[in-house]
Structure 1
């Protein structure tokens, strides 16, 4: 990127008050290299470039905006955690998200566009090539694994496919798959692309390595995360998510792997700027699909909602948020830690985020994270949740109470002073002292 291009990008970001962390800015710079300079004229017939949206358009405006886009345009939403953008996101192809970066970049950056054609055609030029890894039950039929290995022969890709000991003869449980992935992570140095045994490769699966992300996976039905195709780049953030998935799977071995992968993603993206790519259906095609003939990875078994985890409320809680590539109210949007020796945590619930403009919500998020970074008030951990509706507030309160956190509920636009946490920390200490010494 030239100095002039960078300056042309910095100027509107600064004038709009958009704060991006290092990982988010790296992704934005990459997009500018792919699509061209940022566009400021949103009229119809635009050629190519990156469009940065600060405020969510209304329903009619979103429809007109969508119709005016071309495959040569990329849309970047630097405050993608706001549910006000969900409607526009639903009309676009979701490419990826980059999680919040603490006080320096306290928002989730979302990026998308019109279809994957531009990236799919360019992915063949990727110089980084993943190692394909897969496993199958040692006591089961190895025919499926043979089909995968055979399909790999015409691609210049390293692979590792092995039988593993399993509790069940005909299937691999989530914790067994996660342990296998952890062994592969420690054994090899290349990026890893896990492909379920029984799948076949129709094309070289180079899209994730070309995009240079931390992790890549597919959300079938646009919200349920699938562990059938899972890419892990050689980054600390990718390792952090893998370890979180392994720990959750070991703790809850009976729960569906997609549920646990979802929770590992949410947990990791709240604590580190996880650069996630949401893979197109061609990387998760099923036999019998209309698009199976254009598949890069073709799986041999259907997936049904009967495989969901035991929590019947999970689908309703997570669906809207995951379709928009963001965390929901039950999960913390951002987690920050301090050097305070105490293990006390505080949960800040920002309510009514759908009823206020995105600028007010963003400013309050920045004020809260800035105040915590300036003076943590003795709290070792901050969890910030964004709630659109009162039901969301209830779910966030329940989760915070289970963790025994101090709970503070605030509204967009509320004044957050630099001593916000110090004041509340002093209040809590005073209440504790009165309880101990009446």
Structure 2
């Protein structure tokens, strides 16, 4: 980067800091970097005002208040193709309706310096994707594995295409416990070996896939991981990009750990849980790859654009063999956010303690977006100021009673202390200290107070 480029980047960062501060928006460094990345490609950023129409020269629309149904429709119809919508409070389910109308491009998890999930999306991928057939300057290694019982011809088409595109690769047969079926633990173990063996970012592609063009999009996205959500909610491990970052490594290791513990569970759900766990603990920068990187064979030869074509049955039954499995997470994953039964954010303290405390935030479906965001910041800020001797804070957002019951059950099974609050309640500065000193370790502390 030249001195001129550096000066421009510093100026852009300053402008973003001023814009965010003026509107009371807290973002982590990773989230601000993504905002700058979008603005460099699409144009200036602006905070959207309710009932207004975005100006044509604005490339990034920052949305801090969830629009009503008619307002969401009006905003959607006013968007131009080469712009992006950014929701800095993406954990709030009140934004789900607008998200459902857009293509979700990515999400960045919360962290201590930005305790919110940031979501970004738009109308289509074209404005931010590289030109078809273009090559990124970033390095990339394609890796793949398949059960040894399938034979060497299983990956021949993929290997030949990668050679044609001059993309370095490692494609290898592996021994599997179930013959021609590969478990998630076996796939993730192979990926860990590749991670430790190579220094480039890794792009895993299922061995029986066919490439229509060089799969270079992930290497141009400056993210930690990139994958596709089939049906907008099922995370698929058929195409999985891992950058050389601590966050990407954490996802991979968490996936292998969970997959080894639950070998009978289908890999998409296990990857989903690893993503949720990692995203709650660090600002994991995730990009949701377009369908062209997870195209079923029926897409090939149609007007639909394809890059990676997978040998999938038309009903995709191998992705989620149990239609009811994971029902609780579908609404949240369609909106690219944590579900009510997952911890939205996990923060560790400096206390030398294994004791953890779970804060359950209820009534979020009837709370103002700013009010809810302020409450999240108040909880994390209070824990940072005085952790009360707890080594870890887990914050779960629960819109429904079923979510509250599930979150309480999970917290009790982990021997966590539990506090239940609503977004509109004021928190005492010594909240965690008071709970930590209480002798009734099995009780749930329910904060009292009336809606302001």
Alpha-carbon distance in structure 2 between the residues aligned to 1:336 and 1:373: 9
Q: How does 1:318-357 map to 2 (within 5 A)?
A: 318-357=329-368
Alpha-carbon distance in structure 2 between the residues aligned to 1:3 and 1:342: 40
Q: How does 1:165-184 map to 2 (within 5 A)?
A: 165-184=175-194
SS at 1:107's partner residue? Answer: coil
- Structure 1 residue runs of 5 or longer lacking an equivalent are 433-438
Q: 1:156 to 1:268 in 2, by over 3 A?
A: same
Q: 1:60 to 1:293 in 2, by over 3 A?
A: closer
Which of 6, 18, 31 is the aligned partner of 2:25? 18
Answer yes or no: is 1:288 the counterpart of 2:298.
yes
Aligned position for 2:124: 115
Q: Say if 2:63 and 2:87, in contact at 8 Å, map to a contact too.
A: yes
Alpha-carbon distance in structure 2 between the residues aligned to 1:430 and 1:165: 48
Aligned position for 1:436: none
Q: Say if 2:157 and 2:209, in contact at 8 Å, map to a contact too.
A: yes
RMSD: 2.0
Q: Say if 1:129 and 1:157, in contact at 8 Å, map to a contact too.
A: no
Aligned position for 1:249: 259
Q: Say if 1:213 and 1:233, in contact at 8 Å, map to a contact too.
A: yes
**What's the CA shift for 1:299?**
0.5
SS at 2:236's partner residue? Answer: strand
Aligned position for 2:151: 141
Q: Say if 2:119 and 2:336, in contact at 8 Å, map to a contact too.
A: yes
TM-score, normalised by the number of residues in structure 1? 0.94
Q: 1:40 to 1:307 in 2, by over 3 A?
A: closer
Q: 1:306 to 1:147 in 2, by over 3 A?
A: closer
Alpha-carbon distance in structure 2 between the residues aligned to 1:81 and 1:234: 26
Answer yes or no: is 1:304 the counterpart of 2:313.
no
Q: Say if 1:144 and 1:199, in contact at 8 Å, map to a contact too.
A: no
Alpha-carbon distance in structure 2 between the residues aligned to 1:26 and 1:50: 13
Q: 1:113 to 1:293 in 2, by over 3 A?
A: closer
SS at 1:383's partner residue? Answer: strand
TM-score, normalised by the number of residues in structure 2? 0.91
Q: Say if 1:363 and 1:413, in contact at 8 Å, map to a contact too.
A: no
Aligned position for 2:438: 427
> What is the aligned length?
430
**Deviation >6 Å, runs of 4+:** 429-432
SS at 2:286's partner residue? Answer: strand
Deviations 1:161-195 (A, max 9, x none): 01111112212111110100000000000000000
Alpha-carbon distance in structure 1 between the residues aligned to 2:14 and 2:144: 45
Q: 1:205 to 1:8 in 2, by over 3 A?
A: same
Aligned position for 2:36: 29
Alpha-carbon distance in structure 2 between the residues aligned to 1:362 and 1:20: 12
Alpha-carbon distance in structure 2 between the residues aligned to 1:147 and 1:431: 58
SS at 2:393's partner residue? Answer: strand
Deviations 1:290-313 (A, max 9, x none): 758521000112263465377x76
Q: Say if 1:101 and 1:107, in contact at 8 Å, map to a contact too.
A: yes
Q: 1:409 to 1:314 in 2, by over 3 A?
A: farther
Which of 80, 84, 93 is the aligned partner of 1:74? 84
Alpha-carbon distance in structure 2 between the residues aligned to 1:247 and 1:96: 25
